[in-house]
Structure 1
């Protein structure tokens, strides 16, 4: 299971999200991973699941009788539900138990699994005993999940630990959940304070904080944006500090800083123009995957493009995320802008700025997907919950919008839909529901392959093989010092969701071309190179008439007739917290699980149930009262006379029961045994025994 498959309701802040493990403490394949995707594309997801527990091969009741083996997070979740029920039944002061305090106890007591990141295991494996200890010593308080940030701790803090930060880079965002065990509602009274540790170079980083002023129900968020101060542009090392919030304990920060990488090594991922389900119907990129009809992973480098991100990091590239319009970044700092599977429209100002940026040296790589209005109508479906027909609001990608973006260079994608296996530069490739290039500059490089017309197969169930389908194009813009553009018609080969064969080698080759102007000889001298298409052989896609993309778009707004573009929003501006330096050493246990404020696990001892015996104190003659039994009161008197009478009644009762069983046994032996009637075997069975092997008798 790939990252960011976790969905509603487990992704809510006030819900305990549960993942599944097997009995060897391995994360189960079926267990959904975080991060949450509600915050995308502008922000960053939160840590989910919260805890993990056994959910693979768990013995449970059979449908009719006996037991059976059960697997799934629908098994792991009831395990935690049972643990919560048991915990509530043992807490001495039940007034302190609420959804937040229970969640605090579960995540604070969880045992971290080695070699697993926080978006797979949350805070770790459920530990019922430790949770009991915490709840029985609990004092109402607020806490954070996660309670600290460490950009050097791998693999638990992946992806934060996978790439150091540097001056001029996009801010690193950590989205923490505030759990409020003091009540269903709460409020952050004062603005959070950034306190860098001066001995640990904390003044080398700038921190901005956004948060929910009101905590309801039981929870809120604290988003911390971290950037490198200008004075550390050429510095390398570790910087530490903490953010102080009035309702919680300090949340520590530990980040690794490196000198700003060269422009050629910096790749900017366009997240702003990626949409997801819910709330709109954005269909799957690979139409073969009929059991997974919706594109709901957020298309983020840390979710369903994780493997691609890891590959780029391993090859020395630094990848940053753009969660704002194209008008909001300094293109002179980046070698390549990547647009992958974009479903959003573009502001006119974005189109103008991108053209200017590419003329000045920025390069562009586009991985597109299919867009065909006839196929979009074909893949509509009827939703039993809403009792409505759901029509896609776009295709696998918003190809008409991409064409508007790249048309200034004489480029365009077609509305064709193709699929098939092929070989490129000695690499086996699979084209999964991609489009073709309909138009490309005559001095560009175009690679074509033989593929199946999947659009015709979807619409008419006919299989037609098409030769010379243009799928890859590379172009050097004519302006002096201008950047380069690379187009590819399918994103599935770099997407973890349904990838069959990866094309990371192709991404490497394209980045060598865009960032270093090194044209890959394996492609330029390929036998599959063809003359660039002129746009006359294949129609360009048009937007689906009557689509409702404007309902979910950040660019479009409803308008009488066709939707029109909204005003360009202002670029996000982070208000950096004014540091209040601490001239003290950072705590040495910053990396450890943060304890709840009122809990000292070493001093909390479980009651010894096995050695527990009621202490019975006989009452004095004439004294009224009750038996002195801890935990309960039993009314009555206890004296010597009663103590002598009880054994006599017990003996008489035992004799009565014994007499009853003797009488029943005597009756059963006196009854005559009934003989079973003899049944004459059917004649056709005798013939069946004599019939030759392999032939069935006829009756």
Structure 2
């Protein structure tokens, strides 16, 4: 069995950290640590807190009975304080022995909550063109009432609200003791790494702490009287272990800190010990603020812990505070895509460009990034807490109230219909800005009323799908009868649901079927409400249905989520599309799915962009909508769908295979019901996959891709009865041979089998299958290769099939910025209504140019670990699970 390694980008200014970690989740019927572990460090989590010595004493007593040689512990950095975990070195054993030992421990020690691998993160500081370290002149903002774009700060100071008696933990690169002179209150500086020095070799932690509470003239912090507790969790080489975070957060809980600031994070939300520990801090009443990340303008690549519901996730604004900074990470969250759809994030926005802070020597400089925006919100939270009385803080100084207050009072950015690309626009929709810009003045003025009458707060505050582009992407398509439900996941901030949400119809609201899925209790303070909205009956003309979703909660006044949704007449069959078979895509970080583009594999090998029509394929989705096609997203397998309703089924870059019953259903729909199919693949080659295996320095093992850029064997199995197949030679258009082609290929497959009378589109490509050539431009062995095929199925009521060997020209995040939407829309029109293709002279009719029959296409699934996260492969997997499985985190 192979082992798992993931890359996590932990943004410290613009730092990228590589994470080496084990499987966080596996097959639903296995145990998370049942992997081929060859290293020995484990986190043993317990259900209660006590001293490390007591935990170890009881643990040792049981282990000794089995095998005294297994006893080996690692002392934590702060063993005198209570803890809920041990760090244990399991001595070198065989895999079967290891599994047996861990199973026995889990089954026979009821005090144990979980066993996880201790995760190693490695990285280095990278330069960034948009990071400024220019000196800042104190006079630049001296005449304003704001500090670093946060309004009302100086008025708050004059009213006596300066963050006094608020304890803030800064989890970062540290703070040198010599920097105490630049703060009024540095209460504690601790080091949780394996290095001995209390230093900040990077400077990032000092800057972040200074933005919160610095006292340097010219770059004062937002809350200069707040008490800073600096937690050094990164070494000078930017290395950090999960256990260091756990130990440090435990100490923060022990100290009863009020706020934690994380100007760090990464896309791996499956580091469950860390995720659970952050959630535990929130449940203890600690407010957690975290940077959303610097991966913008791309969608769906938020960082953790900012993407957690209980955390205040902060995005970055431009210097005028009117636009979202290009680097600021956007939603939607990808935790829930497998269960239908993600949540709105970030929560609020703050200045992210030219933020003023201090160096360790007390010099004022400017830096960019959401790392700089997060401490602005942290400082504002400190001012709010210091404006409360002691009794008010006891009751309302918790994550639920503070987050609700910030969401309610944030200033919505203006949404403009400017720009046609998701990467260059001023839409400022809910998945980009959340509730909007931090508004300290409004928060302070609204605080008293909210304390007198607590209420549940919902993000987004309303679902008005007539408000475009603010409610993009939902506002871009009216719903209609007989369509798959529209799925939206609002986040409610409060304590606990008393009764299930109630739909109260308004004008035309009786036409809507509104179903909700919740887990009842919101832990801690927040919870997602899954909305599944469909239309009960057809309409003859466009209307707007309205109503309210009443949410009743404990300890708060209930709230009504106002919903307005346009309804349109059901479109004719030739205008209906399933876009797309989302069931076929695996979500990062479940397994090692490599990049679709091998040219950029060395810098970031993981396909982490979601492959969703509202993340990296959003521009393709927009192009289809602009062309007038209705689009539905299927998160279930084909046996749950009535395929005959649709003119076209679209499969983009699949990683999952198909059930046999799905293949039968799709084949029948194509041959007998005039359903067309468009399948877009990617590169696939076993030797190349093996060459991309990664050496995991934490486990001393190799981790291999579970598929190629796409699951070509699965595609070939789906299309086998139509004599269509993709090959396992990897082709590229780069460097571009001549001019700009109608379709370019970054790393794709050629078509090696296609029916006679079909048509193929050939283009000049270079073979990059060999590891020695796929990153080289020296070997220019160009060939004319078929990469697109179209065919009419020759049955009485047959549909059409389109096959493409690469999806890169349809992906918003391709390396060239070029697209092939024009050509693709022609293919869609042909598939739906037999509209003749333009430039037919460039297409080759196979009767006169047959493919080489000697090429044998890949048809068999390779022996990889795909089964562990697959919805199709593996034991007890079966079709017909027609409600998306809701994952809980």
TM range (shorter): 0.7 to 0.9
SS of 2:654's equivalent in the other structure is coil
- The CA deviation string for residues 317-369 of structure 1, in whole angstroms up to 9 with x for no partner, is 11110111011222222111110001011111100000011111110111110
Maintained 8 Å contact 2:325/2:353: yes
State the secondary structure of the residue aligned to 2:770: helix
User: What does 1:9-24 align with in structure 2 at a 5 Å threshold?
Assistant: 9-24=305-320
Tell me: CA distance 1:166–1:127, structure 2 relative to 1, closer, same or farther (3 Å): same
Distance between the aligned counterparts of 1:261 and 1:157, measured in 2? 22
The answer to whether the 8 A contact 1:441-1:532 is kept is: no
Give a deviation string over 1:216-247, Cα, whole Å, max 9, x none.
Answer: 122111111111121x3324211111111221
Aligned counterpart, 1:110:
410
1:37-85: CA deviation from partner (whole Å, max 9, x where unpaired): 1111331111011011101121222465523221111111122122222
Determine whether 1:520 maps to 2:837.
yes
* Aligned equivalent of 1:196: 505
* Structure 2: runs of 5+ lacking an equivalent: 1-296, 416-427
Q: How do 1:291-690 and structure 2 match up within 5 A?
A: 291-359=603-671, 360-384=673-697, 388-420=701-733, 427-458=741-772, 463-500=779-816, 501-522=818-839, 524-526=840-842, 534=851, 536-541=853-858, 545-558=862-875, 566-572=877-883
1:106 deviates by: 0.9
Q: Which residue of 2 aligns with 1:241?
A: 547
Distance 1:190 1:548 in 2: 42
Distance 2:701 2:834 in 1: 51
Per the alignment, in what secondary structure is the counterpart of residue 587 of structure 2?
Answer: coil
Match of 1:255 among 553, 562, 565: 565
Q: CA deviation at 1:548?
A: 0.4
Alignment partner of 1:278 out of 573, 577, 589: 589
Alignment of 1:5-44 (within 5 A): 5-24=301-320, 25-44=322-341
Specify which of 339, 351, 354 is matched with residue 57 of structure 1: 354
Question: What SS does the aligned partner of 2:584 have?
Answer: coil
Matches within 5 A, 1:119-134: 119-134=431-446
**Pairwise CA distance, 1:457:** 5.0
Return the alpha-carbon distance in structure 2 between the equivalents of residues 329 and 342 of structure 1: 18
The SS at the match of 2:338 is coil
Alpha-carbon distance in 1 for matches of 2:745, 2:643: 31
Structure 1 residues 294, 502: closer, same or farther in 2, change over 3 A? Answer: same
What are the superposed Cα offsets for residues 281-339 of structure 1, whole Å, 9 maximum, x if unpaired? 11110111232321112211111111111111111111110111011222222111110
RMSD, matched Cα: 2.2
Q: Which residue is equivalent to 2:270?
A: none
Greater Rg over alpha carbons, structure: 1
8 Å contact 1:265–1:316 — kept in the other structure? yes
Q: Distance in 2 between matches of 1:252 and 1:424?
A: 55
Q: Secondary structure at the match of 1:519?
A: coil
Could you say if the C-alpha distance between residues 532 and 357 of structure 1 is closer, same or farther in structure 2, counting changes exceeding 3 Å?
A: farther
Can you list the C-alpha shifts for 1:154-186, whole angstroms capped at 9, x where unaligned? 111111111111111111111111211x5xxx3
| Rounded Cα–Cα distance in structure 2 between residues aligned with 1:401 and 1:532 | 26
| Equivalent residue in structure 2 for 1:210, among 483, 504, 517 | 517
- Once the two structures are TM-superposed, the CA of residue 383 in structure 1 deviates from its matched residue by 4.1
The 5-angstrom pairing of residues 138-153 of structure 1 reads 138-139=450-451, 140-153=454-467
| Alignment TM-score, normalising by the size of structure 1 | 0.76
Going from structure 1 to structure 2, the CA distance change for 1:517 and 1:61 (only over 3 Å counts) comes to same
8 Å CA contact 2:684–2:710 kept in 1: the answer is yes
The runs of 5 or more residues in structure 1 that have no matched partner are 559-564, 575-699
* Aligned 8 A contact 1:42 1:324 in 2: no
1:458: Cα distance to partner?
4.4
Match of 2:344 among 47, 55, 71: 47
Question: How far 1:204 moved relative to its partner?
Answer: 1.8
Which residue is 1:67 aligned to? 364
- Matched residue count: 559
CA distance in 2, matches of 1:573, 1:556: 17
Report the secondary structure of 1:487's partner residue: strand
Give the conservation status (yes or no) of the 8 Å contact 1:370–1:415.
yes
Distance, in Å, in 1 between the alignment partners of 2:731 and 2:356 is 46
Q: Distance in 1 between matches of 2:431 and 2:501?
A: 25
TM-score for both structures, normalised by structure 2: 0.60
In structure 1, what is the equivalent of residue 380 of structure 2? 83
Q: Distance in 1 between matches of 2:738 and 2:798?
A: 28
Query: 2:51 matched to which residue of 1?
Result: none
State which drifts further: 281-290 or 525-534. Answer: 525-534
Deviation per CA, 1:574-615: give whole Å up to 9, x if none.
9xxxxxxxxxxxxxxxxxxxxxxxxxxxxxxxxxxxxxxxxx
Structure 1 residues 499, 86: CA separation in 2 closer, same or farther (over 3 Å shift)? same
- Residues in 2 aligned to 1:335 and 1:485: alpha-carbon distance in whole angstroms: 12
**1:370-414 Cα shifts (integer Å, max 9, x gaps):** 111111111222345666532111111111111111111001111
Note if contact 2:381-2:402 (Cα within 8 Å) is conserved in structure 1: yes
Deviation at 1:537, TM superposition (A): 4.1
**1:416-444, CA deviations, whole angstroms, 9 ceiling, x for partnerless residues?**
11111569998554210011111111111
Spell out, residue by residue over 1:21-41, the C-alpha distance to the aligned partner (whole angstroms, 9 max, x if none).
111221111111000111113
Structure 1 CA distance, aligned partners of 2:612 and 2:726? 23
1 CA distance for matches of 2:800 and 2:436?
46
Instruction: State the partner residue of 2:477.
Output: 163
Q: Distance in 1 between matches of 2:349 and 2:468?
A: 19
> 2 CA distance for matches of 1:549 and 1:347?
15
